[in-house]
Structure 1
Amino acid sequence: MSTCADRPETPRSDSRPGMLLALALAVLGYQLNATMLSPALPDVMHRLHTTSGLVGLSQTLFFLFAAIGQVTLARLSDYRGRKPMMLLGCFLVIAGDIACAAAPDIGVFLVGRVLQGFSAALFTLAFLTLDDTLSAKGFGRAAGIITAVNGGFAGVDAVFGGWLADTVGFRGIFLAGLVVSVAGTLAVYRTVPATPPTAKGRMDWRGTSLLAIGLTGVLIGLAQGESWGWLSVPTAICVLGGLASLVAFALAGRGARDTVIDTKLLVSRRAWPLLATTVLTLAGAFGALTLTVPLFTQDPQAGYGMSATHSALLFATPAQAIGVIGAPLAGILGPRIGWRRSVVLGSAGSLIAFVVAVPFMTHQWVFAAALAVLGITYNGLSITALNGLAVLSSPDDQKGALPGLNGACFGIGASLGTALASALITVAASGGAHGADRYGPALWASCGLLAVAMVTTVAIKAVPKGAAQPDGGRVAVPAMRG
């Protein structure tokens, strides 16, 4: 694999406030399209005279292309530079906001959601930009702030989205996001330095295509399996076809000069345990927090019978609010104790929180308190450290490869967790389970996934030690050698 070992070194510093604000605005512009729209989906269906299935498809496409965009733009930034790819991502968000705000029908709306989803790479590109320009201490602090922004504003953004939907309609959400995205684009253009590419050669478009097809098949199969039937022909075609494409991607990468991600890296303990931990952590925590817990707490027969607002305020907002503080703290902690140790602490803390929460799911305040701890362990430590470790574990000649693939694994894990939870709840209900037993199997499955994540976390190899750099502690990560 060709490298850019002779590229000029970018001056590093502990702090770049203007650049950090620009990156935060760019990431927020994307994130608002993920969090603010959820309560407005019924309004979309009403105003565009469409079906719940097509509205659901818009969400599936958004998260699907988020996974593809993470891999493609992050790796392409190695060859073209971070800033050009960030600006491309910003323009995609703007185009998507305009398309969705002005959509006369569901077709145009779907196109807008695809464009917005592809721009999810802004989060990974922000991490890569921080890695290119900041010292170890500065990277940790800034990474925590970006993670906090990417998690939303402590649930306030979702509440604001619901208010906009109730007053001016769903189009107001995209107009609000458009304002943030335009501001972020201008700020990126003015304040983000144009760092040189980190790799020479050409983008591996064959490998990228195989990886995109594989991710598409797996994610669509997981997202639609419940409605199509898990043993149906369409589900089997998507999942098995996607897995076959991923195998072909791995085989095609052997011996290739400029592959999307080096196979040697992929099978090393730098990568596969990290990717597995990301998938399992998201599958366990995300599936529970976004599906099982809301359904259980709002169920008048089997759960607490709360309203949607009451449930969100008691069981979602506390973890999100704590995460706004927890993520920056995790960013400070990472460089001091090591990013791998931060991942281990996050996994262990999340597992303990679920071990306490699930047996006491019928005790409202114990259940709520245990889930609130996830603001530190899951929203704070795990998410920040997994992203930070992916960046710092990548060899210098393919910096965008592992972070991009790790970003895609967030989507895979979220889809897997949601699909598994939905299936277990359905099976329990059809089997005649009563009360909390309808939701207990799904929560115990989440706990089990986090337990397996704890195992893969321990298998992660620490960031390789190299020659110290003159920026206060950063190290060069060597390329994989045969």
Structure 2
Amino acid sequence: MTTIRNQSAPAAPPTRQAGLLAALVLAVAGFQINATMLTPALPDVIERLHTTSGPAGLSQTLFFLFAAIGQVTIARLSDHLGRRRMLLVTLAILIVGEVVCVLAPNIEVFVVGRMLQGISSAAFTLAYLILHESLSPQRFGRALGVITAVNGGIAGVDAVIGGTVADSVGFRGIFLITLVLTAVATAAVHFAVPESRVPASGRMDWRGAALLGIGLTGVLLALNEGGSWGWTSPATLVLLLAGLASLVLFAVVQKRTRDGIIDVSVLASRQVWPLLLTTVFTLAGVFGMLNFTIPLLTQTPGAGYGMSATTSALLFLTPASALGLLAAPLAGQFAPRLGWRRSVLIGAVGTAAAFVPLVLLPQSPWVACAALAALGITYTGYSLTALNGLAVASAPADKPGSLPGLNGACFGVGASLGIAVSSSVVTAATAGGPPTAGAFQAALWSSAVFVALALLTALLIRPATEN
């Protein structure tokens, strides 16, 4: 498999490179805080929009599902239209989604806004590609770590602010804050990010993008709603079968398409498919736990800890985010020397180890706090940085946006899958009633299974020197 190699350091002065990195950090932060700031506010969304945990979980699932679709589509489209142009498009879509959520009168409109926001997840992949095409290998590793650190939040400050805003003015205030940040990010990208278009022959594979989007939507919605609709209900089965059929048809079409959105032959390589599965399973395990189960566990009286949204964010989200902000740039600095594959393994082992006390002693707030803090180092620091770096380094030279975009899509698939499964487990265990301690523990175990699978698939990744 022919892969991209980092280019030589550009002649641009350090100040220009610093401006580029700062603009890209603002761009990805515009998307990320829409995920992290809302997490402690989920109970407030449920209360103010007069809904239940099921639709609230669906809004999170669709947010990350459309992140998957946006990643693979927009990253590949940037091969044709340019990185900077598509980054500005994603930020414009994010602004529209934020406005929709601010004005949402009900959960249905709120879900639409979250779907639009999810598409802008492509900002991460576009940022990685811009940096890879602009910096030397060592500088790329450090910059990649900085961008990846934002994937865990802004040192936990965003989660605390989200909890405080939810407790005081409600979830709509969160989207007003993110709207201002996104507007600033758009201006920064416009002035500081140069166009770095990679010429691509042929045309964009819209047919493949549509089939992939339909397939992912059907499968993940079936998993999310199966617990409440019934796993053998006609609606669940139709969604699941239609989604699987679309994915099969997508694979067939890609083999016959010259400029397909994904090179199917590349997927057969042991440098690629274990990497993609590791990304899916890692994100499914961590996001199902961190973005759904933990907010409900920490804020539910009786069955949980009964804390406020602010206290929950301060104790359980801030430490992980803050440690990740420190660990990710270090992981990016050492990964080119250790090897991206070896760094993936380090992150997978560490993440699995951090999950052990969490699932065994979920009734202890301090054990949960310590385990989540450790995940800031192992998951945000090593796993996310190494998975992104390995995807960029292993991309086909003629389609540089394909594998990073597909791996970015796997982030969205994994996140939505994990939230869908956790939501379904809690819904099934409570039978429509309030969440119970047993339901929370069952959801944590389901997340732990995904993390164990991630460790297994990480071991299967073949080093780049093997054929």
Q: TM-score, normalised by structure 1?
A: 0.85
1:272 lines up with 2:269 in the alignment: no
User: 1:69: how far off?
Assistant: 0.8
1:19 lines up with 2:20 in the alignment: yes
Question: Per the alignment, in what secondary structure is the counterpart of residue 254 of structure 1?
Answer: helix
1:120 lines up with 2:121 in the alignment: yes
1:459 is aligned to 460
Structure 1's 445 and 59: CA in aligned 2 closer, same or farther, altered over 3 A?
closer
Inter-partner Cα distance in structure 2 for 1:228 and 1:346? 37
User: 1:213: how far off?
Assistant: 0.8
User: 1:288: how far off?
Assistant: 2.4
Inter-partner Cα distance in structure 1 for 2:12 and 2:72? 28
1:249 is aligned to 250
Inter-partner Cα distance in structure 1 for 2:440 and 2:100? 39
User: 1:343: how far off?
Assistant: 0.5
Paired residues of 2:220 and 2:420 also in contact (CA < 8 A): no
2:345 is aligned to 344
User: 1:331: how far off?
Assistant: 1.2
Question: Per the alignment, in what secondary structure is the counterpart of residue 255 of structure 2?
Answer: coil
The AA in structure 2 aligned to 1:419 is A
Inter-partner Cα distance in structure 2 for 1:104 and 1:439? 30
Q: Counterparts in 2 of 1:130-149, with a 5 A limit?
A: 130-149=131-150
2:380 is aligned to 379
Inter-partner Cα distance in structure 2 for 1:436 and 1:107? 29
User: 1:316: how far off?
Assistant: 2.9
Question: Per the alignment, in what secondary structure is the counterpart of residue 399 of structure 1?
Answer: coil
Paired residues of 2:82 and 2:197 also in contact (CA < 8 A): yes
Paired residues of 1:4 and 1:198 also in contact (CA < 8 A): no
Q: Counterparts in 2 of 1:2-401, with a 5 A limit?
A: 11=10, 16-40=17-41, 51-52=51-52, 57-102=58-103, 109-298=110-299, 301=302, 304=305, 306-401=307-402
Inter-partner Cα distance in structure 1 for 2:311 and 2:105? 34
User: 1:203: how far off?
Assistant: 0.8
User: 1:37: how far off?
Assistant: 3.0
Structure 1's 154 and 56: CA in aligned 2 closer, same or farther, altered over 3 A?
same
Inter-partner Cα distance in structure 2 for 1:313 and 1:20? 28
Summarize deviations over 1:283-335 as a string: whole Å, max 9, x none.
Answer: 22222233344444556555555555444433332212211111112111211
Bigger-Rg structure (1/2): 1
User: 1:54: how far off?
Assistant: 6.0
Inter-partner Cα distance in structure 2 for 1:245 and 1:233? 18
Question: Per the alignment, in what secondary structure is the counterpart of residue 253 of structure 1?
Answer: helix
Question: Per the alignment, in what secondary structure is the counterpart of residue 258 of structure 1?
Answer: coil
Paired residues of 1:284 and 1:446 also in contact (CA < 8 A): yes
Summarize deviations over 1:185-232 as a string: whole Å, max 9, x none.
Answer: 121111112113242111111111111111111222222222222222
Inter-partner Cα distance in structure 2 for 1:125 and 1:357? 34
Paired residues of 2:8 and 2:136 also in contact (CA < 8 A): no
Paired residues of 1:4 and 1:197 also in contact (CA < 8 A): no
Larger mean Cα displacement after TM superposition, 284-293 or 185-194:
284-293
Inter-partner Cα distance in structure 2 for 1:357 and 1:4? 39
The AA in structure 1 aligned to 2:118 is G
Inter-partner Cα distance in structure 2 for 1:44 and 1:301? 20
1:477 is aligned to none
Paired residues of 2:304 and 2:437 also in contact (CA < 8 A): yes
The AA in structure 1 aligned to 2:141 is G
Paired residues of 2:209 and 2:261 also in contact (CA < 8 A): yes
Inter-partner Cα distance in structure 1 for 2:27 and 2:222? 31
Paired residues of 2:8 and 2:135 also in contact (CA < 8 A): no
User: 1:41: how far off?
Assistant: 5.1
Q: Supply the RMSD in Å over aligned alpha carbons.
A: 3.2
User: 1:386: how far off?
Assistant: 0.8
Question: Per the alignment, in what secondary structure is the counterpart of residue 324 of structure 2?
Answer: helix
Structure 1's 175 and 464: CA in aligned 2 closer, same or farther, altered over 3 A?
farther
User: 1:461: how far off?
Assistant: 2.4
1:407 is aligned to 408
Structure 1's 288 and 102: CA in aligned 2 closer, same or farther, altered over 3 A?
closer
User: 1:277: how far off?
Assistant: 0.4
Question: Per the alignment, in what secondary structure is the counterpart of residue 360 of structure 2?
Answer: coil
Inter-partner Cα distance in structure 1 for 2:171 and 2:309? 19
Paired residues of 2:224 and 2:424 also in contact (CA < 8 A): no
Inter-partner Cα distance in structure 1 for 2:243 and 2:143? 36
The AA in structure 2 aligned to 1:232 is S
Structure 1's 106 and 361: CA in aligned 2 closer, same or farther, altered over 3 A?
closer
User: 1:74: how far off?
Assistant: 0.4
The AA in structure 2 aligned to 1:340 is R
Structure 1's 424 and 227: CA in aligned 2 closer, same or farther, altered over 3 A?
closer
Q: For structure 2, which runs of at least 5 residues remain unmatched after alignment?
A: none
The aligned length equals 458
Inter-partner Cα distance in structure 2 for 1:309 and 1:429? 26
Paired residues of 1:226 and 1:419 also in contact (CA < 8 A): no
Paired residues of 2:62 and 2:118 also in contact (CA < 8 A): yes
Inter-partner Cα distance in structure 2 for 1:410 and 1:185? 23
Paired residues of 2:163 and 2:310 also in contact (CA < 8 A): no
Inter-partner Cα distance in structure 2 for 1:188 and 1:71? 21
Paired residues of 1:44 and 1:170 also in contact (CA < 8 A): yes
The AA in structure 1 aligned to 2:337 is R
Q: Higher relative contact order by CA 8 Å / sep ≥ 6: 1 or 2?
A: 2
User: 1:364: how far off?
Assistant: 4.6
Question: Per the alignment, in what secondary structure is the counterpart of residue 160 of structure 1?
Answer: helix
The AA in structure 2 aligned to 1:459 is L
The AA in structure 2 aligned to 1:207 is G
Larger mean Cα displacement after TM superposition, 305-314 or 263-272:
305-314
The AA in structure 2 aligned to 1:280 is F
User: 1:45: how far off?
Assistant: 6.5
Larger mean Cα displacement after TM superposition, 29-38 or 166-175:
166-175
Larger mean Cα displacement after TM superposition, 84-93 or 421-430:
421-430
User: 1:439: how far off?
Assistant: 4.4
Structure 1's 11 and 199: CA in aligned 2 closer, same or farther, altered over 3 A?
farther
